[in-house]
Each structure stands twice: as C-alpha cells, then as structure tokens.
Amino acid sequence: MSERVLVTGGAGFIGSHIVDALLTAGHDVFVIDNLHSGRREQVNPSARFYELDLRDSEGLTTLLRREQPTAISHQAALADVRGSLRDPATYATVNVVGTLNLLEAARAAGGVRKLIFASTGGAIYGDPAELPASENCPPRPLDVYGASKLAGEYFIDTYRHNYGLDYCVLRYANIYGPRQDPRGEAGVVAIFTGAMLAGRPVIINGDGLQERDFTYVEDIARANVQAIAHGSGVYNLGTGIPTNVNTIFRELAALTDYAGPERHGPGKQGEVRITYLNSDRAARDLGWRPSIALHEGLALTADYFRAQGEG
C-alpha cells in the first residue's frame, strides 16, 4: 500500500538513499533538510523538498499539517562522536529537542501512524556487554551522540504510550557507501577512499584493530522501506561480522591502487573498541537481512567516488 512518507534529513548520505528506495517502492515522498551536511542535488527530483530545520517547531507543524504524512522516516541528526564531545549542547538541541519538535508536529497534524527512527547500534551500547550485541544488551553510550540517540528512543516510546504513535527504532551499525562525505570527521570508508584517490596520506586512528560492523547503505535503505509496513519496537541493523580498520585500509588500498604506507596516529576519545550487532530480530519481524558483502560494497563505493572525481 502506498503511503505519504516524510524523510527528515533526506538530502543526506543515508536519507537520500532512503528517499530513492521509498520512491522505487511506490510511496509518495517529501523531504525536509536544513542542508547543514546534506546536499540538495542528492534529493531525488521525484520527491518534494523543503529546506527546514528540526529546531523550527512552528515551521514543522505548519508543513506536516499541509502535507499530511502517514509515516515518517526520521534520519536528520548530528552524528559525529567527537563532535558531540566538543559541543554537547548543540547535539542535545538538534537530536533530542529536534526529535521532540517532530513528535509534537506529528501529533498536531494527525494522521501519522508510524515513525521510523534512525538510532545507533555503533554508539548506543558503548563497549557492549555481549558480542554480537542484541537489542537486550544494556545501553551505555560513551559519548554525547549515543546518549542523545538513546534519549530520542525514550521520548518516542512515550508517544506510543500516550498517543498511540507506532514506531520502529532502527539501531544502525557503521554505515558506508556512495554519497558519504569523504571530508567529514566520521565515516572511515569515505575518508580513506577520498584520500587514497587523491594520493593523500591516510592516517589510521590508534592501532587500527578496533572492530566495527560495516553495513552497506542500500541495505539500510531497504530496511527503512520494510519498516513502514512491518515491525514495531527496537531493531539492530548490521551484518554481525566484525572487521577491523586495518583491514578496511588494505581492501581500499587495493581497490584504489593506493601505494602509500599504513600510517597510525593517536586513538580518539570516546571511541568504542569492538562493536558488532545481532540482527536476528530484524530478520524475524521485518524480513530484513543484509545482502551486500563487504568487498562488494567497498568496490561499489570506490567506483562511485572515482566517478565523482572525489579527492
């Protein structure tokens, strides 16, 4: 069944892929984005675009009353671990108050039956009490970004309790792929790829043995589409396969013909050592499993950046 879906942050890396996937599935899509990190040209022309900030509560309410969405995919957020430690107040305002503004706008507009919320499996569990981390693993974020996402989850749950707004919280692993910003502070695959294609030095933080669950962005977009119609509650989205950063460096070096040395710098504050996710609940309730293996996803990413002239 076709729905009218709002994608917040739909000009960004993950959000723009979700917009594409929703349109392909036959949904009517509109986007809000303040273009802080998103790019207008990444928004599919078949989606309606509104430049709007989550902190503008009045503007949000006016727009949702006019557009009358039946579902929301809430991707907009500040999402850098180290940035959140430098500026915790801004992260709380955008990620927590912004989410509350959206919830209130949805309540005022009426008609929204489901919210899909982009959370973080990479940061919300901290150093996980179990590996792979399941949804039953106690959340204990080590940084303000993870804490802000956990707060958002709790607020969303109160809106189901008090107002009947159904939701799927999707806790993402480490997402990579085309359209990720190679000039940002987060996103090691994009950063390495951009530097390697430009022939610039690549610096690995710490010893490079920190392990992550690298999951391709189109798999995440597909999960958001499936969550429109299926599931309710909290779901991890990841491959369940840990890969260390040194391995990412070596794979990308081979894909980009990079001949530079493997250089290491100091480790970073707030960084989790090892995290990867158990996504069995998403397989059961959403019918979702990742389909793109790491080597294939890295090759697709390198090809994209090469075609874009990144670096």
pLDDT digits (tens, 9 = 90+) for 163-209: 999 999 999 999 999 999 988 767 999 999 999 999 999 999 999 99
Give the per-residue pLDDT at 213: 98
Asked whether the CA dihedral 303, 304, 305, 307 is positive or negative, the reply is positive
Reported as a single tens digit per residue, the pLDDT across 130-139 is 999 999 999 9
Q: Identify the pLDDT of residue 272.
A: 85
Q: Give residue-wise pLDDT tens across range 45-66.
A: 999 999 999 999 999 999 999 9
pLDDT exceeds 80 at position 218:
yes
Counts for the chain of helices (H) and strands (E), in that order: 11, 13
pLDDT of residue 269: 75
The tokens describing 220, both together, are 């995440």
pLDDT of residue 310: 57
Q: What is the pLDDT of residue 45?
A: 98
Question: What is the phi/psi pair of residue 245, to 5°?
Answer: -70, -30
> Which pTM was predicted?
0.96
Average pLDDT rounded to a whole number, residues 241-247: 98
The pLDDT of residue 287 is: 97
pLDDT grade, residue 267 (50/70/90)?
confident
Q: Among 197, 208, 194, which Cα is nearest to 265's? A: 208
pLDDT tens string 97-147: 999 999 999 999 999 999 999 999 989 999 999 999 999 999 999 999 999
pLDDT band at 270 (very low <50, low <70, confident <90, very high): confident
Contact 75, 20 (CB under 8 A): no
Q: What's the pLDDT score for residue 279?
A: 98
Angle 116-121-124 from CA coordinates, rounded to 5°? 105
Classify domain 4-176+214-240+277-291 at the CATH superfamily level.
NAD(P)-binding Rossmann-like Domain (3.40.50.720)
CB 289 within 8 Å of CB 277? no
Q: Which of 125, 145, 176, 258 is catalytic?
A: 145
145 is catalytic: yes
Partnered with residue 265 across adjacent β-strands are 205
The pLDDT value given to residue 128: 94
Give me 224's structure tokens. Answer: 């958001």
pLDDT surpassing 60 at residue 90: yes
The fold of 188-210+242-275+298-308 is: UDP-galactose 4-epimerase; domain 1 (3.90.25)
Q: Give the whole-angstrom CA distance, residue 12 versus residue 75.
A: 9
For strands 174-176 and 203-205, give the pairing.
unpaired
Q: Which residues of the chain are in CATH 3.40.50.720 domains?
A: 4-176+214-240+277-291
| Helix or strand run (H / E) with residue 9 | none
Residue ranges of the chain assigned to CATH 3.90.25.10:
188-210+242-275+298-308
